[in-house]
Amino acid sequence: MYYFLYDNHDPKNMAILSENEYDRDICDNCGGIHITYTGNFNFKIMGKLLDFYVASATPVISERFLNVLRENGYTGFEATETTPRYGTVTTVGDPIKEKYYRLTVTGRCGLLKKLDGEFFPYCRKCHRKIGSTGLVTTGVTFAESEYDGRDIFAFENLSNIPIVSEEVKDVLLQSKLTNLRFVALNEWEYSDRILTRSARRSLEKGSIYPELIEAWLKYGVLTEQELNEQLNKRR
């Protein structure tokens, strides 16, 4: 069994993104925006100092967490020092003396697949998981042949959520690291509903691409007939 690693996202004890420098890359097929932080990663911690946080989709770990990973010789990640401060959503406080590291997952297991083995809808150009597709499903899986065997890994198109094996999960729990929440891959709930009328509106505006139409037909957002009617209107 494999597990996604999340934090508890407790509103009293959480990490909040601060201003960061970044590069932005926009896919000309799906319009997806890819952000790469450059320089120091800045964030604030509100409440208690815990061992794991997800700050706006970026995992950060305490020095204690990093030591557990290193002592066990785990592979599949890079850790870079960050510059955290105490703070709240609206305020910035003192720098935090304890060290925190940004966790970049480098192990990979291919693109997201549903339990039936079909891929989640993705952009053929940038491989981003596309949204507003109508897909509602429980559980994800990967092909063993796509998994590089690292201890910490992630889907290519969900690269910020670490995945660990049962064995690694047990080690992390036995190490008493705080703020860890594990979700089994086969129990992961995914709900990307979209109203037919929103899909129609997007078609009218022309803000669509082939992968999205394919998904709408597959997941019953639009019928072939409704799609053709909309396309004829545009001509």
CA distance linking residue 184 with residue 62, whole number of Å:
23
Strand partners, 131: none
Choice between 25 and 146, CB closer to Zn ion = 25
Burial class (CB in 10 A: 0-12, 13-18, 19+), 64: middle
Choice between 64 and 127, CB closer to Zn ion = 127
SS3 54: strand
Q: Kind and range of the H or E element at 95?
A: strand 92-95
Q: Pairing mode, if any, of strands 33-38 and 2-6?
A: unpaired
From the list 29-37, 110-118, 145-153, 158-166, the region that binds Zn ion by CB under 5 A is 29-37
Q: How far apart are CB 206 and Zn ion at their closest, in Å? A: 17
> Phi first, then psi: what are they for 168, rounded to 5°?
-65, -40
Choice between 34 and 176, CB closer to Zn ion = 34
Among the listed residues 3, 18, 32, 169, the single contact to Zn ion using CB under 5 A: 32
Tokens 């094996």 correspond to 165
20 binds Zn ion per the rule CB under 5 A: no
Interface mask toward Zn ion for 113-132; x: CB under 5 A: ----------x-xx-x----
Strand partners, 92: 87
Among the listed residues 17, 27, 96, 227, the single contact to Zn ion using CB under 5 A: 27
From the list 32-40, 44-52, 161-169, 227-235, the region that binds Zn ion by CB under 5 A is 32-40
CA distance linking residue 171 with residue 161, whole number of Å:
18
Q: How far apart are CB 134 and Zn ion at their closest, in Å? A: 18
Interface mask toward Zn ion for 188-217; x: CB under 5 A: ------------------------------
Q: What angle separates helix 166-174 from helix 63-71, to the nearest 10 degrees?
A: 130
134 binds Zn ion per the rule CB under 5 A: no
Choice between 26 and 115, CB closer to Zn ion = 26
30 binds Zn ion per the rule CB under 5 A: yes
Whether 164 and 151 have beta carbons less than 8 Å apart is answered as yes
Q: Which residues sit at the interface with Zn ion, rule CB under 5 A?
A: 27, 29-30, 32, 123, 125-126, 128
